[in-house]
Chains A and B, each alone.
Chain A
Amino acid sequence: MGNEIHNRIAVLRAERGISRQELADALGVNYQTIGFLERGDYNPSLALAMDLSGYFKLPIEAIFSREPFRPLSELVYARNGSDGETVKESK
C-alpha cells in the first residue's frame, strides 16, 4: 500500500455550500491548500485532519480513508433500495 489517502473534503464542502476560502479561513490554512487536499495532492498532518473532522463534525474515518470512497449516491441508493436492506460501506 502506498502513501495514498482518499478524502471526501470536496463533497462535504459542496454539501454544506462553503467555499474553499471559507474552509481555509476556518482552518487557518491557505485556500490553495484546500485545493491540494481535495485533489489528493497533499496529505494533511494529523492536526489538520482533526481540525477538518472537528469542522465538519464527523469522525476522521468518514472524511479520510486508505481505500477509495464509494460515491455517496451509490451509498444512498443502496440504503434506500427497493429491497429495504441497509448496505454498509465496504472498507
Chain B
Amino acid sequence: MIECTSFIGIPLRTQSQRRRLVLGYYALLAIFFVPLFVLGKPILFTLIAQTLTLGGILGGIRAGGPVKPYGGGSADHDASSLLTLNLEGKRRRGMSPWLDEREQAERDHAHYLAYKILRWVLGMTAVAYLVAVQFSKAWLEPRASALLWMLLVVVLGLPQSVILWNEAPLETECETNLNTAATL
C-alpha cells in the first residue's frame, strides 16, 4: 500500500519511520488547529486550502502521497445490472488500477479500523460540544467551524494514517532473496 520509501525527505522503509510520519502529521494538524480554535476567527479560504493540503497529504484519496491512491474508477458500476453480468467468463481485475487484491483488502480493513476510531472521535467531540454549548455558547460558536474543519481533516486522513501505522516493513529484492534462502 505504500507508494514510496521516502516522503518529502522522510524515510518510510521501516514501521517506526512510518509511525513517526503519522505522529508528525497529527502534530502539524494540532499546530494548525490550536491557534484557529483559540483565536476563534477562522478564514474560510484558509480552511479550504488547509483541508485540501492536509487532507490529502498522506495520499490515498489522491496520488502523490506515501499511500497509493485507493481507487481509480471503473465503468462497471455505471452500467446496468444486465451489462455487468460476466457472460464471457473473462476474469475482471479488481476495481482499482493501483492496488492488487491484497492491497485492496488492506485498504478496506484500514477503512474499517478508521471507522471504529472515528466512532469514538465523533462521539466524544459531539458530547463535548453539546456540554460546552450549555456553559458558553457565545465563546464556542465562532470556534465551531474550526472544530468541524479539524474533524473533516481527521476523517480524510485517518485511513491513510492507519495504513502507514500498521503496514509491515517493506522488503527489498535483496532481503527477499535472503528470506527465500532461509525458507529453503
Contact = CB atoms under 8 A, between A and B. Distances in A.
Interface of A: 10-11, 13-14, 19-21, 28-33, 35-36, 38, 41-42, 44-45, 47-48
Contact of B184 (A10, A33, A36): A10
Interface in B162-184: 168, 170-171, 173, 176-177, 179-181, 183-184
Contacts, number: 50
Interface of B: 91, 93, 99-103, 105, 168, 170-171, 173, 176-177, 179-181, 183-184
A42 B1 CA distance: 14
B176 to A, nearest CB: 5
A41 B91 CA distance: 24
A35 B169 CA distance: 11
Nearest to A29: B100
A30 B180 contact: no
A30 B173 contact: no
Chain A interface, >50% SS class: helix
B171 A32 contact: yes
B103 A33 contact: yes
Contacts of B99: 30
Given A19-B173, A35-B171, A10 B180 contact: yes
A20 B8 CA distance: 28
Chain B interface, >50% SS class: helix
Contacts of A44: 101
Contact of B93 (A14, A19, A28): A28
A43 B101 CA distance: 10
Given A20-B173, A35-B171, A47-B91, A29 B180 contact: no
Q: Nearest 3 pairs between A and B by C-beta?
A: A29-B100, A33-B102, A10-B183
Contact of B176 (A20, A30, A45): A20
Contact of B100 (A13, A30, A41): A30
Given A20-B176, A28-B93, A45-B101, 5 more contacts: A10-B183, A29-B100, A30-B102, A32-B170, A48-B101
B184 A11 contact: yes
